[in-house]
């Protein structure tokens, strides 16, 4: 059975770095790469808002939940897939889910039996980080496989 890696992308700079590392390692080990974007139930993360603004997606679309979140997610995951393929990775799939980002990343990784998860280490503000913790921190504590947080 071939190796399978998962990289979570959210449009942030750290997410892009995680994609770059995951693509490189998947290519060198002939692994499959699953690119995952999670549409959060909570307010849209700052990185995702910045991505939408950079791409010219209107504010009204950013405030809508699943429908428009999926449109943004389609763009992010599509660009990530294009990056991976342009860098020589043959076995790439994408998936978009809705829910709590950390929980969904771990659930998809478990269901897809991935060997390694790559996430950006993009942190929250000091107060929010103390109260809620970061997605990357939660994924590392919840996942049953190797996790790599990329800064």
d(CA 14, CA 59): 23
Q: What is the mean pLDDT of the chain?
A: 85
Residue written as tokens 């990329």?
A: 150
* 88, 19, 116, 46: CA torsion to nearest 10: -160
The domain locations on the chain are 4-150
Tens-digit pLDDT profile for residues 64-81: 544 567 788 899 999 999
d(CA 3, CA 26): 8
Res 40 pLDDT > 90: no
pTM of the model: 0.80
Query: For 11-15, 31-35, 51-55, which range has the lowest pLDDT when averaged over its residues?
Result: 51-55
Query: Looking at the domain covering 4-150, what would its CATH class be?
Result: alpha beta
Res 132 pLDDT > 50: no
């Amino acid at each position: 059975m071939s190796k399978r890696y998962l990289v979570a992308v959210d449009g942030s700079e750290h997410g892009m770095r995680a994609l770059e590392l995951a693509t490189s390692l998947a290519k060198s080990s002939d692994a499959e790469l699953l690119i995952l974007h999670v549409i959060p139930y909570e307010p849209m993360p700052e990185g995702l808002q910045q991505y939408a603004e950079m791409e010219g997606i209107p504010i009204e679309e950013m405030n809508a939940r699943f429908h428009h979140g999926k449109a943004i997610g389609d763009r992010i995951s599509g660009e990530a897939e294009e990056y991976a393929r342009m860098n020589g990775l043959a076995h790439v799939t994408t998936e978009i889910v809705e829910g709590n980002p950390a929980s969904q990343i771990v659930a998809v990784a478990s269901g897809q039996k991935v060997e390694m998860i790559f996430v950006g280490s993009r942190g929250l503000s000091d107060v929010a980080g103390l109260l809620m913790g970061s997605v990357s921190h939660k994924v590392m504590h919840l996942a049953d496989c190797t996790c790599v947080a990329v800064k």
